[in-house]
């Protein structure tokens, strides 16, 4: 974890362990704009705030064109 002022940044290795998701899944979430991340050099970093927003929005979204079942 890196702290810049009050901002905490996690690399994908750390986040993978913390959330129990693979790094490939996290990269896919970033690519599909489901999780906000920033690449610095060769590593991706995700802020603590982005992780909070990810869970507030819900990380499982219905597929395009399909209605959500109740």
In a domain, 66, yes or no: no
pLDDT of 26-66, one tens digit each?
999 999 999 999 999 999 999 999 999 988 887 555 556 55
pLDDT on residue 33 = 93
Q: Can you tell me the distance from the alpha carbon of 70 to that of 49, in angstroms, rounded to the nearest whole number?
A: 29
pLDDT at position 68 over 60: no
Range of the domain at 42: 2-57
CATH code at position 47: 1.10.10
Please tell me the total count of domains within the chain: 1
pLDDT on residue 65 = 58
- Please say whether the beta carbons of 48 and 7 come within 8 A: yes
Q: Can you tell me the distance from the alpha carbon of 10 to that of 40, in angstroms, rounded to the nearest whole number?
A: 12
In a domain, 41, yes or no: yes
In a domain, 65, yes or no: no
pLDDT of 41-52, one tens digit each?
999 999 999 999
6 vs 67, higher pLDDT: 6
In a domain, 63, yes or no: no
pTM of the model: 0.75
In a domain, 47, yes or no: yes
């Amino acid at each position: 974890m890196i702290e810049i002022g009050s901002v905490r940044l996690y690399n994908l290795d750390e986040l993978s362990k913390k959330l129990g998701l693979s790094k490939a899944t996290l990269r896919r979430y970033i690519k599909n704009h489901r999780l906000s991340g920033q690449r610095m050099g060769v590593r991706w970093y995700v802020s603590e705030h982005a992780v909070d927003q990810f869970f507030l929005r819900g990380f499982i979204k219905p597929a395009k064109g399909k209605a959500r079942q109740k």
